[in-house]
Structure 1
Amino acid sequence: MINIYSWNVNGIRAAQKKGLMEWFGGIQPDILALQETKAQPEQLDEELISPAGYTALWASAQKKGYSGVSVYSREEPLKVDTLGAEEFDSEGRGLVLTFPKFTLFNCYFPNSQPEGARLDYKLDFCSFLHEAAKERVAAGENVVIVGDYNIAHKPIDLARPDQNEKNPGYLPEERAWMDSFTADGFTDTFRMFTSEGENYTWWSYRAGARPKNIGWRIDYACVNDGFAGAVKSSSIHADVMGSDHCPVSIELDL
Structure 2
Amino acid sequence: MSSPLKRSLSTTGRSISPPPLQRKIPRLTEHVSSTREPSVDQLRIFSWNVNGVGPLLQKQLSFSADSLSPLRTFLKRHHWPQFLCLQEVKISSKDTATQRRLQAAANQSAAGDEPSYTIEFSLPRDKYNATGFGGKVHGVATLIRDDFGSRLRATRRPDWDLEGRVLVHELDMGLVVINGYWVNGTSNPYRDPETGQVVGTRHDHKLRFHQWMLDEALRLERSGLHVILIGDMNIARARIDGHPNLRTSPVQHVKNRADFNAKFFTYENGLSAVDVFRHKHGNRQKYTYHPRGRNWGESCDRVDLIVVSRSLVDPLDAVAETDILDNALDRGHSDHVPLWVALDMSIFSAKAAQSGSD
Q: TM-score, normalised by structure 2?
A: 0.65
Q: TM-score, normalised by structure 1?
A: 0.90
Cα distance in 2, alignment partners of residues 3 and 16 from structure 1:
23
Q: Return closer, same or farther for 1:95/1:115 CA change in 2, 3 Å cut-off.
A: closer
**1:73 aligned onto 2:144:** yes
Give the % identical residues. Answer: 26
Cα distance in 2, alignment partners of residues 94 and 115 from structure 1:
21
What pairs with 1:202-217 in structure 2 (closer than 5 Å)?
202-208=289-295, 211-217=296-302
Cα distance in 2, alignment partners of residues 20 and 158 from structure 1:
29
**1:246 aligned onto 2:246:** no
1:158 is aligned to 242
- For structure 2, the residue ranges without an aligned partner over 5 or more in a row are 1-41, 62-69, 108-115, 126-130, 190-200, 346-358
Letter in 2 for 1:155: R
Q: Return closer, same or farther for 1:199/1:114 CA change in 2, 3 Å cut-off.
A: farther
Contact 1:202 1:217 in 2 (8 A): yes
Contact 1:201 1:236 in 2 (8 A): yes
Q: Return closer, same or farther for 1:124/1:26 CA change in 2, 3 Å cut-off.
A: same
1:10 aligned counterpart, secondary structure: coil
Contact 1:115 1:167 in 2 (8 A): no
**1:231 aligned onto 2:319:** yes
- For structure 1, the residue ranges without an aligned partner over 5 or more in a row are none
Question: Post-superposition shift, 1:231?
Answer: 0.6
- Which of residues 78, 84, 89 is equivalent to 1:37? 89
- Give structure 1 regions of 4+ aligned residues with deviation exceeding 6 angstroms: none
Cα distance in 1, alignment partners of residues 342 and 97 from structure 2:
32
Deviations 1:181-223, CA, capped at 9 Å, x for gaps? 1123211110011123431000222332xx1342000001111
Q: Aligned-residue CA RMSD in angstroms?
A: 2.1
Question: Post-superposition shift, 1:14?
Answer: 3.2
Letter in 2 for 1:22: T
Question: Post-superposition shift, 1:95?
Answer: 0.3
- Which of residues 177, 182, 194 is equivalent to 2:281? 194
Cα distance in 2, alignment partners of residues 94 and 253 from structure 1:
25
Cα distance in 2, alignment partners of residues 67 and 43 from structure 1:
18
Contact 1:56 1:71 in 2 (8 A): yes
Deviations 1:86-117, CA, capped at 9 Å, x for gaps? xx2x2101000111120110000011125794
Contact 2:103 2:117 in 1 (8 A): no
Contact 2:167 2:180 in 1 (8 A): yes
Cα distance in 1, alignment partners of residues 88 and 250 from structure 2:
20
Q: Return closer, same or farther for 1:71/1:115 CA change in 2, 3 Å cut-off.
A: closer
1:100 is aligned to 172
1:136 is aligned to 220
**1:57 aligned onto 2:120:** yes
Q: Judging by fraction of residues, say which structure has more strand.
A: 1
Question: Post-superposition shift, 1:15?
Answer: 3.9
Question: Post-superposition shift, 1:55?
Answer: 1.8
1:151 aligned counterpart, secondary structure: coil
Cα distance in 2, alignment partners of residues 216 and 54 from structure 1:
31
Cα distance in 2, alignment partners of residues 68 and 111 from structure 1:
14
Letter in 1 for 2:265: T
- Which of residues 146, 164, 173 is equivalent to 2:255? 173
- Which of residues 142, 148, 159 is equivalent to 1:84? 159
Question: Post-superposition shift, 1:29?
Answer: 0.6
Count matched residues: 247
Cα distance in 2, alignment partners of residues 150 and 119 from structure 1:
12
Contact 1:233 1:252 in 2 (8 A): yes
1:22 is aligned to 73
